[in-house]
A = this chain, B = another copy of it.
Amino acid sequence: MTLVGKQFPNLDVNAMNDMGDTFKLNILEEAKSKGKKILLFWYPKDFTFVCPTELHAFQAALGEFEKRNTLVVGASCDSAEVHFAWLNTAKDNGGIEGVTYPLLADTNRNLASRLGILDLTNERYDEETGDITVDGDNVTYRATYLIDEEGTVFHEGVNHMPLGRNVSEFLRLVDAYTHVQEKGEVCPANWEEGKDA
């Protein structure tokens, strides 16, 4: 069932920043305690080729998100060590050097499981051994969540593996939701800040 209109899950997840620090990040608490909106975007794997363009695109728009009181957080199921190695790899070598927002390292899949965005299928139980085997790589689709200052999800979207995201659309959604928060008005189709609704 959709998370829209509900609280984001309350979970601590390992994260890595560009300083090489490993720390715990709880998206729900971060939004509520700092009074900020959060854009959380998931990508399948570190060290692949389409993903870096999304990470760089969010980095390039970081100023615009900050103006809108919005934090950006990236996330995959790779380890903090792998995130750090990728952060230290030059953009020309397929790395993400220069990214300054934090990256969740959800190796135990606690959060991705609860969001239901892992490419796991065909779960089967081995009666003999009591073990569970699955198909799929156990990595996430390109899922994006917009969370407001109360921790409520106001947008969720999932793209199939090969489809990159459009950063400006998320800026539009943040603007529209802020408009609703401030004006109490519903935002019609194709609404954009400064244009007539």
Contact = CB atoms under 8 A, between A and B. Distances in A.
Interface in A58-116: 58, 77-79, 81-82, 84-86, 89, 107-110, 113-114, 116
Contact of A159 (B78, B85, B107, B155): B155
B188 A164 contact: yes
Given A47-B82, A79-B137, A156-B157, 17 more contacts: A14-B137, A46-B79, A47-B81, A56-B189, A58-B189, A77-B107, A85-B85, A107-B138, A107-B139, A108-B135, A157-B157, A162-B185, A164-B176, A166-B169, A166-B192, A167-B189, A169-B169
Given A47-B82, A138-B107, A166 B157 contact: no
Given A54-B188, A57-B189, A180-B163, A107 B46 contact: no
Interface of A: 1-2, 4-6, 9, 11, 14, 45-50, 53-54, 56-58, 77-79, 81-82, 84-86, 89, 107-110, 113-114, 116-117, 119-121, 126, 129, 131-139, 141, 143, 152-169, 172-173, 176-177, 180, 185-192
A52 to B, nearest CB: 8
A81 B89 CA distance: 14
B47 A160 contact: no
A180 B162 contact: yes
A57 B192 CA distance: 14
State the copy count for this chain: 10
Nearest to A110: B133
Q: Which 10 A-B pairs have the closest CB atoms?
A: A53-B188, A157-B157, A108-B138, A57-B189, A1-B116, A50-B186, A54-B189, A154-B160, A47-B85, A164-B189
